[in-house]
Structure 1
Amino acid sequence: MSGSYLYLVSLAQKVGKVAFVTSSLLGILFIFLTLFGVRKIFGTYKYLMVVFSALGIFLACLDAVFHPNLHFYNSGYVFFTLKTPFGLSQTCMTAILTLYTGVYSLTISMLAVQFVYRYCALFSLSYLSFFRGWKSVSWISYILFFGIIWWIGAYYLIQMDDICANYFKNEMLLRYEVLPTEVPMMMFLAFDPSDGSVRLWNASYTLLISSIMGIQYITMIYCGWNMYSKMEEKISGLSTSLKRHHRQLFKTLVLQVVSILSYS
């Protein structure tokens, strides 16, 4: 049996294109219905949902066009693409790979913001002022902050160096029939293979992205659990239609988390 993964890469690219078309059509339909068809969703939350859907479409577009791949090998991994569309240079493609990580961070952070909004709508109405008017800059700054620092972190902390290139050389030749220097690639290697010492830049990247993901998921878990456990008591005095409305919005948030996890 061949050790090449090129067939799997080709299959993943085809699946990615189908996923892009499907998610784009559904996303555009969702945005249209949210803006013009659904009357019960209004105000800032409507636009939060639209922004989240747009980010999802953009992320799927990047995936379909540039086909990023993640390959794990022993104590490290490589993040690369075998495609260079539009005649882009290797340097430009490497920058796009890091941009992809930033957009992913934006998407996760945007989902956390939606949880915070729904939590405030149920339990802390006064804090909804941060989602209106000029105060909206607070949540916009929140998602941009995490998107930018993940992007910058990927660009500077997991650059290819000679140690990584030599470590992954044979693996890349075996699995993808390319040398590390021939394709756009970011590399992570936890330990120096020569002496076993920790590679601090790469370790810093792990700490960075773990912190970002931890903040977002802790936020979602905290808000989600409180909504799940206390929502019925909070909405007990509302009309039947409003109760149904709040329950549907909560279920939508949960489904969005599942979709992001499955995409990841």
Structure 2
Amino acid sequence: MVYRQVKRFVNARSRLVITIVQPLIWIVFFGMGWSRAFSFPGARALFGGLDYLTYLASGMVAMTVMTGSFMSGVSVIWDKQFGFLKETLVAPASRSEVILGRALGDALVVNIQAMIVLALLFLVAPGLNPGGVLPAFLYGLLLSLGFASLGIALSVKISSMEGFQMVVNLVTMPLLFMSGIFYPISTMPEWMKAAAYLNPATYAVDGMRYWLTGVSYFNPALDTALLLALTATLLFVGTRAFEKATVED
């Protein structure tokens, strides 16, 4: 399953291009615009001493991972339509192995894309630390495993490609804005902070930002522990949903 997901990615070059271009559009049209707005004296204090472009760039890696991981469920819907999903459901391998293989394959693909994006971000945000690339990859791998599992679990219950994309957009947009990618958690209203603390992306963003810039809102050890716990929870939810799926779904 891992090999299959990676091979599909290699054969779908348009998917790679779109995944890379999207965060770069955010950086150019959102980041560069707001970096000028936050150029007044004292603005860097809002972002832990970082300029806004560097602050945003360190979060774009997690954004690439999040959006790409959720969309892994699209391949499940395609497999439904072409009959491959039925073959995996009746295969002698356990369903937990099947979904873990799919999730791991999609996680590797998404993180390859994220690392390409990160390499390009060094051109616009030279303040990023090259030594943080490997830790950022590991945080991204954990995050993508959880969200890929959730995306697969959703796609098992949804047959319409359009319906799945609407659900994904409905879920990902709040998670993106409540993760600390675009603005610090300390500036959020109290109700939004409470939601952000339950968001796995919050701890991935914070951990990546710590290793790439030296700035963090939480303790890095806490980031790792909570991200592991939340990812394990999403893996469990995804595995249970896939195990309960029927050939007729």
TM-score by length of 1: 0.31
By percentage of residues, which structure has more helix?
2
By percentage of residues, which structure has more strand?
1
TM-score by length of 2: 0.32
